[in-house]
Amino acid sequence: MKYIDEYRDGGLARSIAATIAREAVSGRHYKFMEFCGGHTHAISRYGIEDLLPSNVEMVHGPGCPVCVLPVGRIDDAIRLAMRPEVTLCTYADLMRVPASSGASLLKAKAAGADIRMIYSSMDAVLIAEAEPARQVVFFAIGFETTTPSTALSIGLARRKQLTNFSVFCNHVLTPPAIRAILDTANLPEVERVLVDGFVGPAHVSTVIGTSPYVGLAAEFEKPVVVAGFEPLDVVQAILMLVRQVNEGRSDVENQYIRAVTAEGNLIAQREIAEIFELRETFEWRGLGELPASALRLRETYAQFDAEQRFDVVPVPAADNPACECGDVLRGLKKPADCKLFGTVCSPETPMGSCMVSPEGACAAHWTYGRFRDRAKASAVRAMA
Amino acid sequence: MCLAIPIRVEALLPDQMARVTLGGVSKVVSIALVEDVRVGDYVLLHVGYALTRLDPDEAERTLALMREAAVPGLPTMKEAAA
Per-residue pLDDT tens over the stretch A96-148? 999 998 899 999 999 999 999 999 999 999 999 999 999 999 999 999 999 99
- Give burial (CB, 10 Å; 0-12/13-18/19+) of A300: exposed
> Which strand (E) or helix (H) includes residue A89?
strand A86-90
Domain check: are A73 and A144 in the same one? yes
CA A233 to chain centre: 18
- Predicted local distance difference test score (pLDDT) of residue B17: 97
- Predicted local distance difference test score (pLDDT) of residue A383: 79
Domain check: are A262 and A354 in the same one? no
Domain check: are A85 and A202 in the same one? yes
* Per-residue pLDDT at A293 exceeds 90: yes
ipTM of this predicted structure: 0.91
Report yes or no: B53 and B34 within 8 Å, Cβ to Cβ. yes
Decide if B67 and A12 are in contact by the 8 Å CB cutoff. Answer: yes
Cα dist from B58 to A121, A215, A230, B64, B65, whole Å: 31, 25, 15, 10, 10
Domain check: are A189 and A336 in the same one? no
3-class DSSP string for A138-195:
EEEEECCCCHHHHHHHHHHHHHCCCCCEEEEEEEECHHHHHHHHHCCCCCCHHHCCCC
- Domain that residue B55 falls in: 5-81
List, for residues A68-94, the tens digit of each pLDDT value: 999 999 999 999 999 999 999 999 989
In this structure, is residue A223 part of a structural domain? yes
Domain check: are A365 and A229 in the same one? no
Domain check: are A239 and A177 in the same one? yes
Share of chain A above pLDDT 70, in %: 100
- Give burial (CB, 10 Å; 0-12/13-18/19+) of A194: exposed
Nearest partner of A360 among A116, A71, A64, A106, judged by Cα: A64
Q: Out of A81-95, A148-162, A234-248, A323-337, which region has the weakest mean confidence (pLDDT)?
A: A323-337
| Number of domain units in chain A | 2
Query: What is the mean predicted confidence (pLDDT) over A315-343?
Result: 89
Cα dist from A134 to A81, A89, A308, whole Å: 12, 12, 17
List, for residues A350-368, the tens digit of each pLDDT value: 988 899 888 899 999 999 8
Q: What is the CATH number of the domain that holds A116?
A: 3.40.50.11740
Query: What is the mean predicted confidence (pLDDT) over A40-59?
Result: 94
* Per-residue pLDDT at A324 exceeds 70: yes
Nearest chain B Cα distance for residue A120, angstroms:
5
Q: A295 - beta bridge partners?
A: A278
List, for residues A260-278, the tens digit of each pLDDT value: 999 999 999 999 999 999 9
Domain check: are A218 and A89 in the same one? yes
List, for residues B1-43, the tens digit of each pLDDT value: 789 999 999 999 999 999 998 888 899 999 999 999 999 999 9
β-pair type (A295-297, A276-278)? antiparallel
- Domain that residue A360 falls in: 325-371
Say yes or no: A197 contacts chain B, CB-CB below 8 A.
Answer: no
Nearest partner of A41 among B49, B59, B1, judged by Cα: B1
Res. B81 pLDDT band, cuts 50 70 90 = low
Helical H runs in chain B? 56-69, 77-81
- Predicted local distance difference test score (pLDDT) of residue B77: 54
Residue B33: which of A121, A148, A236 has the nearest Cβ? A148
Chain B residues within 8 Å of chain A (Cβ atoms):
1-6, 8, 22-23, 30, 32-35, 42, 44, 46-49, 51-52, 54-56, 58-59, 61-63, 65-67, 69-71, 74-80
Say yes or no: A255 contacts chain B, CB-CB below 8 A.
Answer: yes
Backbone angles phi, psi at A148, to 5 degrees: -60, -35
Domain check: are A214 and A350 in the same one? no
What's the whole-model pTM score? 0.93
Domain check: are A156 and A259 in the same one? yes
Q: Out of A128-142, A174-188, A364-378, which region has the weakest mean confidence (pLDDT)?
A: A364-378
What sign has the CA pseudo-torsion A60, A64, A67, A73? positive
